[in-house]
Amino acid sequence: MTDDPRIRELAEIPAVEVITRCAVMLMSAAAEKLGLSDDDPEDSPSRDLDEARRLITGLAGLVTASAEYLGPHAGPVRDGLKTLQLAFREASAAPDEPGHGPGEKYTGPVW
């Protein structure tokens, strides 16, 4: 155990908090890869749709597999995922067919 009270051991952190933190990290990384943190996402040096697809798909798998454990966090996390999926579709030059976008094999089609 560390002497620093700001740092907790992983064993002390509830699973729902670990899952939620992971989901937030995936959401933040996907938003960066979509260029959403820049004024003009299309010109963002961080924009990488291939990387964004991977992050959104990983997030969708995590959210789908753990939704029953997230309690009141489930709705906002699912909303964030859907927002990223829609932003990806909007950013794509040739958008995937509904049901074939990032993570949609886990969430179903996103409109």
Number of Cβ atoms within 10 Å of the Cβ of 64: 15
CA 90 to chain CA mean position, Å: 16
pLDDT of 9 reads 80
Instruction: Report pTM.
Output: 0.88
Tell me the mean pLDDT in the region 52-65.
98
Maximum CA extent, the chain: 53
Tell me the mean pLDDT in the region 27-49.
94
Domain ranges of the chain: 14-106
Please check whether residue 85 is in contact with residue 99, taking contact to mean a CB–CB distance below 8 angstroms: no
Helices (H), 1-111: 15-33, 49-66, 74-91, 104-107
